[in-house]
Amino acid sequence: MSEHLAEIEAIAASPDVPTFANTIEAMERSGKLLGDVAGVFFNLNSANGSDDTRLIERDYAPKLAQHGATIGLHPGLFSRISALYAQRDSLNLNAAQRRLLERKYLDFVRSGAALDAEGRARMEAISQRLAVLHTEFGQNVLHDEQDWHLPLAEADLAGLPDFVREGAAQAAAERGLAGHIVTLSRSLIEPFLKFSPRRDLRKVAYLAWIARGTHPGAHDNTRLIPDILALRQEQAQLLGYADYALYRLADSMAGSPDAARRLTDEVWPAAVARAEEEREMLQADATADGLNDAIAPWDWAYYAERVRRARYAIDEAELKPYFVFENIQAAAFDTAKRLFNLDFIARPDIAAYHPDVTIFEVQEAGRHIGLFVSDPFARADKRSGAWMSSFRDQERLSGEISPIIVNVNNFAKSKPSLLSFDDAETLFHEFGHALHGLLSDVYYPSQSGTAVLRDFVEFPSQIMEHWISSPDTLRRYALHFDTGAPIPDDLIARLQAAQNFNQGYGTVEYTASAILDLELHRHPNPAQMDVIAFEKQVLDQIGLPPEIGARHRAAHFQHLFAGSGYSASYYAYQWAEVLDADGFDAFEAKGDLFDAALAAGLRRVFSAGDTEDPMTLYVAFRGHAPQTQALMRQRGLVG
């Protein structure tokens, strides 16, 4: 940090007239050591952390926030950037340089650099306090996930497929326990809720899952959320916005919370109507099964799986033997080869941070592109969920710097490691993010890879999910773990017929969380908020069916509160789904999912980073602005 600040001070204090080279490019070159160290530390803390690294994280979060604010609010630096911004029409900049200058200026303004000294000081203090609260929030969720488990006696295993039993045994072994347990790892609790016929155990597991972050005491996130929201609101109001959602979405493809709500409100009625049809099917099955009560949230997954088996002859236990992790990863690599001519070559000679991790060199026609780090399996000290990150980003300002990209998943580890179809889609999703980083072809570090507007960053990941559903991909890579036989065509047909089953439920639970996010960030007095009561109020107002919970309750909504990445922006997944549904329509209309011209256009989107406006990039690829109807058709919400 000291080295970085010295570099910044030298730029700001330069007696030379500001130029793009001595100001913007000099800023781009600064802080390399800090970036390298932070990249390694935070990647390892998330994927292979410990109590010690989490203590370091808590200690350094406010220090790093203060460091960032010192730079982002630096009067001398902002003065030089402002001077260049005012002259931008006469500087003879290329398109990428002009966008970089404009984005730098906007970033500084949105950080508070144009405020007076008192305003800048307050923005800096808010940044430091938020860093502490974000870190504490995330660590509280991890604590609750690590702290809870449900022991399973032999009789409790009845009805569970072998892969769930194996995952439960592996989870017990990792915690030094005998027998079988269910933990709050998504890769274990979701299949347990789907397959266990024990309603009493499903209820216990479900209630523990949704209670993360709500337990009174030191790890209660409901006491942190009002503070986080109030500080964000103050940030926005210092910058002239009435609320944080207005501030946040002013710099997005959507442009405003109203535009984001127009999307969620367009989808919501059709999704609820479809979910109500699904509920009737599930209730009929439950009643026939002997359940005298109305189905509850802990029943939905179980009866949905039963109805899916009955209606489409699809059984996840029948599917999973064909979805071996190594084969599905190979399918992702082959998709990248056929679309973008990339080869993934295992490099066991490169040291990895954990035995589960495999490192691949990525090449194109023998030319080194970067490294891909695969970390697929759940571990006790690993953050839950799935994500892409980077140890190093591509750029050319400092020479030909190639990227080091990591995909982290939390699949249940067993031998063999079998995935659900949802898991396979998740692998392809995160791989899409990885390709966004690997295919980056930019000059400046700040424009590299996924450094794009939040509601555009999910487009590359979500469009890649479509290729795992392709019959061609399935026939080549969905091979039975025991016999090696390809998945039968009739099972592919049943899988595709079932694709839109339960989409009402999935759309409702996601959209409810997206709306909750926007409303939390528009609350007029968040400091006095009763989080649980407000959450209930919002979900009641939109008419969330009682059998369906929001995908994320506020107290464990890490997208929003373990950092600011998706704050007031969780809608971005649905916004990007409009793009990906419309974009994939082009391949389907062509009748070739690997059409060379379309693949070249898609590569241009992946490689451009933040050098161009995202809508301009999308229209250049697709030929027109995205159309919502493609999303509605994709999810089966319209005829």
For residue 398, what pLDDT is reported?
A: 92
Q: Which residues pair with residue 359 across a beta bridge?
A: 373
Please, what's the largest Cα pairwise distance for the chain? Answer: 82
Q: How far is Cα 516 from Cα 518, in angstroms, rounded to an integer?
A: 6
Q: Residue 149: phi, psi to the nearest 5?
A: -155, 155
Give the closest residue to 341 by CA, choosing from 601, 586, 603, 592.
Answer: 603
Domain 2-72+74-114 annotated CATH 1.20.1050: yes
pLDDT by residue (tens digit) across 449-490? Answer: 999 998 999 999 999 999 999 999 999 999 999 999 999 999
For residue 627, what pLDDT is reported?
A: 83
Q: Which pLDDT band, with edges at 50, 70 and 90, does 433 fall under?
A: very high
The CA-atom distances, in angstroms, between 178 and each of 123, 156, 171, 181, 233 are 51, 15, 10, 9, 49
Q: Which two tokens stand for residue 21?
A: 């080279």
On the question of pLDDT at 318 being above 70, the answer is yes
Average pLDDT over residues 286-290: 96
For residue 315, what pLDDT is reported?
A: 81
Active-site annotation holds for 430 = yes
Instruction: Say which of 430, 465, 519, 535 is annotated catalytic.
Output: 430
The CA-atom distances, in angstroms, between 545 and each of 344, 503, 540 are 45, 14, 9
CB contact at 8 A, 323 and 421: yes
Q: What is the DSSP letter of 154?
A: G
CB contact at 8 A, 316 and 194: yes
Cis peptide bond prior to 416, omega within 30° of 0: yes
Give the closest residue to 166 by CA, choosing from 301, 297, 50, 321.
Answer: 321
Is this structure's pTM higher than 0.85?
yes
On the question of pLDDT at 384 being above 90, the answer is no
Q: What is the DSSP letter of 488?
A: P
Q: How far is Cα 189 from Cα 168, in angstroms, rounded to an integer?
A: 9
Is 94 exposed, middle or buried (CB count within 10 Å of its CB: 0-12, 13-18, 19+)? Answer: exposed
Stretch(es) of the chain classified as CATH 1.20.1050: 2-72+74-114
CB contact at 8 A, 414 and 376: no
Stretch(es) of the chain classified as CATH 1.10.1370.40: 321-497
DSSP per-residue codes, 199-266: HHHHHHHHHHHHTTT-SSSTT-GGGTHHHHHHHHHHHHHHTT-SSHHHHHHTTSSS-SHHHHHHHHHH
Q: Which pLDDT band, with edges at 50, 70 and 90, does 527 fall under?
A: very high
For residue 634, what pLDDT is reported?
A: 83
Average pLDDT over residues 153-171: 94
Q: Which pLDDT band, with edges at 50, 70 and 90, does 633 fall under?
A: confident
Q: How far is Cα 257 from Cα 247, in angstroms, rounded to an integer?
A: 9
Q: Which residues pair with residue 150 across a beta bridge?
A: 182
Q: Which residue has the higher pLDDT, 553 or 497?
A: 553
For residue 414, what pLDDT is reported?
A: 84
pLDDT by residue (tens digit) across 568-613? Answer: 999 999 999 999 999 999 999 999 999 999 999 999 999 999 999 9
Residue 331 identity (one-letter amino acid): A
Is 597 exposed, middle or buried (CB count within 10 Å of its CB: 0-12, 13-18, 19+)? Answer: exposed
On the question of pLDDT at 7 being above 80, the answer is yes
**CATH classification (class only), 321-497:** mainly alpha
On the question of pLDDT at 639 being above 70, the answer is no
For residue 286, what pLDDT is reported?
A: 97
Q: Which residue has the higher pLDDT, 497 or 523?
A: 523
Is 6 exposed, middle or buried (CB count within 10 Å of its CB: 0-12, 13-18, 19+)? Answer: exposed
Classify strands 180-182 and 358-364 as parallel, antiparallel or unpaired: unpaired
Q: Which two tokens stand for residue 561?
A: 């509160």
Is 625 exposed, middle or buried (CB count within 10 Å of its CB: 0-12, 13-18, 19+)? Answer: exposed
Classify strands 404-411 and 387-392 as parallel, antiparallel or unpaired: antiparallel
Using N-to-C axis directions, what is the helix angle for 572-590 and 257-288, rounded to 10°? 80
pLDDT by residue (tens digit) across 485-504? Answer: 999 999 999 998 888 899 99
